[in-house]
Amino acid sequence: MDNSLKKFSFLALCSIAIFGLILALVGYAYFYSTINTYRNILLILMLLIIILIAVSMLLAAIILHAYRRRHVNRWLSLPLRTGLRFLLPVITFLSGMFKNSRDTIRKLYVDINNILVESKGRKYKPDKVLLIVPHCLQSTKCSYKVCGNIENCRKCGACRIGDIYRLAEETGVKAVVATGGTYARSVIKEEKPQIVVSVACERDLVSGIMDVTRIPVLGIINIRPNGPCNNTTVDIDVLRKKLVEILLTEGLYGD
């Protein structure tokens, strides 16, 4: 039995055991509890719901405050991060239920994450910064393989890969064209950067930010004039600005 099957079997048995325990507790309460017991249970549930509502309101207020100020102090960083991890995914799920675009909430998620990272004001050496861009930025008419090796780019100007290559050369950061999230995570694991700057769509950025918990990630949403995953582009000025803001001044542009 391989490891994945063992893990699945263990987790499945744990789930069944938990449900069995819940069933036993409910059965015991049904047959042996008094009316006062039910009232106490309902009272506890009401208190838990009140606490949950209060915490959700507080987290929502902190998120709105940080978004409007575009900055968060270190005392609010932890509750803001908590809201980012737990409250916004719930709101994203609800937006889908109400037939609203989830990308709107995902964009807010990326913005709040960027505020958290930028508010620290930390500067990094260029060789500690990893720039990851999606392969859909490359022109579909291009025959050169730049995924995994951006140096294969001929800088012809047909897409933004050449501009990103030049920007990486100017700033000294390592730029990687990734085929997907799995490859991006493997590159992060191999390179061990202190910060990641990533260009992607809202969904992929949120997924990447949630997966990479130990390294700060700055997200830049790509532009999709031809729809998703097809000849996308990115605002190079915005990308340049994000990089310059986090890089140590010495060593920039050959200084």
What are the pLDDT digits (tens) for 11-45?
778 888 988 898 888 888 778 778 887 788 888 98
Last residue of a domain, one of 79, 94, 121: 121
Total count of domains within the chain: 2
Whether residues 101 and 196 fall in one domain = no
Query: What distance in Å separates the CA atoms of residue 169 and residue 175, rounded to the nearest whole number?
Result: 9
Whether residues 240 and 126 fall in one domain = yes
Instruction: Output the average pLDDT for the chain.
Output: 88
Q: Give residues with Cβ within 8 angstroms of 253, minimum separation 6.
A: 170, 171
Confidence of residue 88 (pLDDT cuts 50, 70, 90): confident
Q: Which domain holds residue 81?
A: 60-121
| CATH code of the domain covering residue 196 | 3.40.50.2300
DSSP β-bridge partners for residue 130 = 174, 196
Whether residues 128 and 95 fall in one domain = no
Whether residues 105 and 164 fall in one domain = no
What per-residue confidence (pLDDT) applies to 197? 97
Q: Is residue 19 part of a domain?
A: no
Whether residues 97 and 192 fall in one domain = no
Q: Is residue 138 part of a domain?
A: yes
Confidence of residue 177 (pLDDT cuts 50, 70, 90): very high
Whether residues 234 and 136 fall in one domain = yes
Structure-model confidence comparison of residues 7 and 46, the more confident one: 46
Query: What distance in Å separates the CA atoms of residue 206 and residue 218, rounded to the nearest whole number?
Result: 11
Q: What is the mean pLDDT of residues 145-152?
A: 91
CB atoms within 10 A of CB 131: 25
Whether residues 128 and 157 fall in one domain = yes
Quote the DSSP letter at residue 158: S
The CB-side HSE value for 199 (13 A sphere, CA atoms) comes to: 29
Q: Is residue 46 part of a domain?
A: no
What per-residue confidence (pLDDT) applies to 22? 87
Whether residues 127 and 86 fall in one domain = no
Whether residues 167 and 114 fall in one domain = no
In sign, the C-alpha dihedral spanning 193, 197, 200, 202 is: positive
Query: What distance in Å separates the CA atoms of residue 194 and residue 18, rounded to the nearest whole number?
Result: 40
Whether residues 140 and 191 fall in one domain = yes
Whether residues 115 and 126 fall in one domain = no
Place of tokens 């291009």: 142
Structure-model confidence comparison of residues 195 and 253, the more confident one: 195
Q: Is the pLDDT of residue 75 over 80?
A: yes
Q: Is the pLDDT of residue 237 over 70?
A: yes
Q: Is residue 215 part of a domain?
A: yes
